[in-house]
Copies of this chain bind each other. A is one copy, B any other.
Amino acid sequence: MTEEPQMIDVRLGRIVIQDGLAHQYIYLNEEDGRRGFPIVIGNNEADEIHRVVHEEEPPRPLTHRLCYETIQALGAEIKRIDIVDLRDNTFFAHLVLQDKNGETTAVIDARPSDAIALALRARCPLRVAAHVMAAAVSDDDKSGSGEAE
């Protein structure tokens, strides 16, 4: 039996969007601490996170909203997002879904950017594995990590 790693509650600290760059940054900060680290994400996901934070809703459903509404239409909810690993400068996240009774129904592999965009819409908890936090904080002192596409 695999023991669940220690998880740390985090929140989105800030989004840095610079026009003309191929990638953008978001920062995750500990809820109960002073540590934090950046994640390099794509423009599309950065734009979506910016829209959700600023409650800007385009007239037509864009892709993340379609994904969110599909989950709801199938009677499920997003329970939480876990960032579970950091390998070769790439973060790995899980989208944890639950049914109406709060039972976990599915755990889906996702890029952190997509997972966080959905989490902000769902207003659900966001957690980072303790070993990922330690490695990401250490990496940030060097060059930073992102998510491969």
A74 and B109 in contact (CB under 8 A), knowing A64-B63, A67-B63? no
A interface residues, how many (CB within 8 angstroms):
31
Interface SS of chain A: mixed
Whether A149 lies near B60 (C-beta < 8 A) is yes
Interface residues of A (CB under 8 A from B): 44-45, 58-64, 66-67, 69-71, 73-76, 90, 95, 97, 105-106, 108-111, 114, 147-149
Whether A106 lies near B67 (C-beta < 8 A) is no
Q: Nearest 5 CB-CB pairs, A to B?
A: A73-B106, A67-B67, A74-B74, A63-B63, A44-B44
Tell me which of A71, A73, A97, A111 has the highest count of chain B C-beta atoms within 10 A of its own C-beta: A73
